[in-house]
Amino acid sequence: MDNITTQLSTIANDWGIADKIVACVHDGASNVKEAGARNDWVDVHCAAHVLHLCISAAIGVNKTASTKPIARCIGAASHLVMHFHHSPLATNELLKKQLEMKPNEPTKKLIQHCKTRWNSAFHMMERLVELRWPVVAVLSDRDVTKLSDARTLDLKEDNWILMKQLLPVLQPLQMVTAMLSAECSPPASICIPMIWGLLNNHMAAKVDDSDAVRQFKADTKQELTSRFPLSEQDVTHSLVVASVADPAHKHLRAFPPDVRAAAHNNVRALLRDIALPAQDDNQASSPAAKRHCPGLAFILGDDYAGTSPETPQLMQSLTTT
């Protein structure tokens, strides 16, 4: 701990940025969090890593003997994929079966799950569902797969059904993970609106959800609300402040009304003693306030990117003294 604190402080001084650092962004490790606190830096966890922890916990893949059906399904699917990765004969035969069944489509290989990236489970299940019948054909070929191996490798019908049910539920989580992990440094302002978008638009239980899917949604909601700053008491968090300061998200439409009001009041308090240039109505409705991204529209809803009737007045009140 002391070494990390000293090294971070030394590097900051060597680069001449010690007085310019406002936050320490990290993957959630407690020692780095403490090191940042000792240097009086605002603590900001990597949102993509926190989301990974939330989804992994809801799935149950981090437990050595999980009783959750999704974790067992992923384990069985991973075992099957491993067989193909370790058997050149099975892999070559899988490619041949694809050409026989769909001669006009490109051949694909199976994808293995990696515990450090939850979305690899999504990609693994997506590819397995896509290649189900070529995979089953290879397992049924006694010249390629021994009967004893086929009995342990072939997935039960319940697992195939569960994977197919999970894909549309995991897709928005995968999209948010991809946007938060983008190479071009996604703005901090999109983080909390996207988490609210997941909770409001994608994690609600549906009447036709299976028990496993319903439980996964409930567990994911619990993890998201406990790990991200979503309550009225969390509005001073830098990620929430960033959302209020961004013209594209300042309306906080995805937030609950009480949290939205508290977040706006917090920023008003921060700006109270800061003299800012006046902003006219044309600036308030600038293109930046109407930025549109297909991914955000899917997560947050088609009408999120537009401005609501109260947006110009809200932006005016937040940016003028």
Beta carbons of 189 and 248 less than 8 angstroms apart: yes
pTM (predicted TM-score):
0.82
Beta carbons of 224 and 232 less than 8 angstroms apart: no
CA 202 to chain CA centroid, nearest Å:
12
Residue 177 lies in a domain: no
CA 58 to chain CA centroid, nearest Å:
13
Residue 179 lies in a domain: no
Residue 125 lies in a domain: yes
Residue 175 lies in a domain: no
Tokens encoding 298: 């899917």
Closest C-alpha to 195, from 240, 228, 235, 217: 228
Asked whether residue 277 falls in the same domain as residue 158, the answer is no
Residue numbers of the domain that contains 6: 1-45
Tell me the residue length of the chain: 321
What does the pLDDT read at residue 221?
96
Asked whether residue 164 falls in the same domain as residue 219, the answer is no
Asked whether residue 122 falls in the same domain as residue 228, the answer is no
Asked whether residue 231 falls in the same domain as residue 283, the answer is yes
Collect all residues with Cβ–Cβ distance below 8 Å to 197 and sequence separation of at least 6: 176, 254, 296, 299, 300, 301, 304
Asked whether residue 133 falls in the same domain as residue 210, the answer is no
Residue 59 lies in a domain: no
Closest C-alpha to 224, from 12, 3, 51: 51
Q: What is the pLDDT along the chain (321 residues), one digit of tens a residue?
A: 678 888 888 888 899 988 888 788 887 777 777 777 777 788 888 899 999 999 999 998 766 555 689 999 999 999 999 999 999 999 999 999 999 999 999 999 999 999 889 999 999 999 999 999 999 999 999 999 999 999 999 999 999 999 999 999 999 999 999 998 876 767 889 999 999 999 999 999 999 999 999 999 999 999 999 999 999 999 999 899 999 999 989 999 999 999 999 999 999 998 886 765 665 555 544 444 444 566 777 788 777 765 444 444 544 454 443
